[in-house]
Amino acid sequence: MSAYELLLYEVDDRVARITFNRPDRMNAFNLKLCAEVMAAIAQADADPQVRVLLLTGAGGKAFSAGYDIKETASGGPRRGEPAWRDRLAKDLKFCYAPWECSKPVIAVIDGFCLAGALEFAQMCDIRYCSEDAKFGVLETRFAAGVVTMVMPWILGPASRELIYTGDTIDAAEALRVGLVTRVYPKEELHAQTLKIAQRMSRVAIECLTWNKRALNRTSEIMGMRSALDYGFEACVQLDGSVAPEFRMFDALRREKGLGEALRWRDAQFRPYE
């Protein structure tokens, strides 16, 4: 029986499946879900019966739409306030959870994977997706910083266009630029990725963990952690500046609701799509 409220946790044949379970909110990451995901990853990491982790979202519409901006609009620190930095630090720590897990972590992306969820998915070892998956650095479009600036380490120069425009790309483009490793028909995604995870779990656990350690260390020797630290500081500075575009977006979501704020944001870009 799962001890979690906002996720499903199950282990079968050496594979742990962690499912974000807020389908009514597109599996958006609120503080409670973030805490539960970190705890579930730690649980699987410590379990000698687990060799591989699968992370996915419930409902078939979204892996996750990113951090729950409805939660940040309704309470807690605001951008520009000293406590906002602490909130962003929690987001960064959350994204490091799959990276710091000693075992392979696979993001199984069915539907939307946006903003903070895309940052989190890129910190997983591998990403597989359904043919209807969509990806985007949407925070750019309402003048929010990228808390976990890992995309250059995954895509290289291709990351610049996605970050500068906030464009959304489909599964085929994600495969082309290297954001995902495989794309499956929607009805086959979970069965096919489970088969890969089970095949992977036949490898000795010592081999899996030492190879992951070596692969991660390669990136860290090249400066990945320092780069992500700088990206975090840039995010803090950007959010502290409170750009006019964000002020308008924030005022609309607080006064008229998130839907009206999103319609205003989308209207700024529609003539140029």
Mean pLDDT split into 10-residue runs, the chain, 273 residues: 88 98 97 98 98 98 93 74 91 98 98 98 98 96 94 97 97 98 98 98 98 98 98 94 87 87 92 92
Return the residue matching tokens 């599996």. 27
Q: Distance between CA 225 and CA 140 in Å, rounded?
A: 22
CB atoms within 10 A of CB 225: 14
Alpha helices in the chain (DSSP H): 31-46, 69-74, 82-100, 116-122, 151-155, 158-165, 171-177, 189-200, 205-221, 224-241, 244-255, 258-269
Nearest by Cα to 44 from 92, 135, 105 = 105
Q: Distance between CA 26 and CA 8 in Å, rounded?
A: 15
7-242: which CATH architecture?
Alpha-Beta Complex (3.90)
pLDDT at 197: 98
pLDDT at 1: 45
Whether 52 contacts 197, CB under 8 Å: yes
Q: Identify the sign of the CA torsion 72, 73, 76, 77.
A: positive
Return the residue matching tokens 């020797």. 221
CB proximity list for 185: less than 8 A, separation 6 or greater:
130, 131
pLDDT at 74: 67
Check residue 180 and report its DSSP letter. Answer: -
Q: Which two tokens stand for residue 121?
A: 């998915």
Active site (catalytic) residues? 119, 139
pLDDT at 71: 77
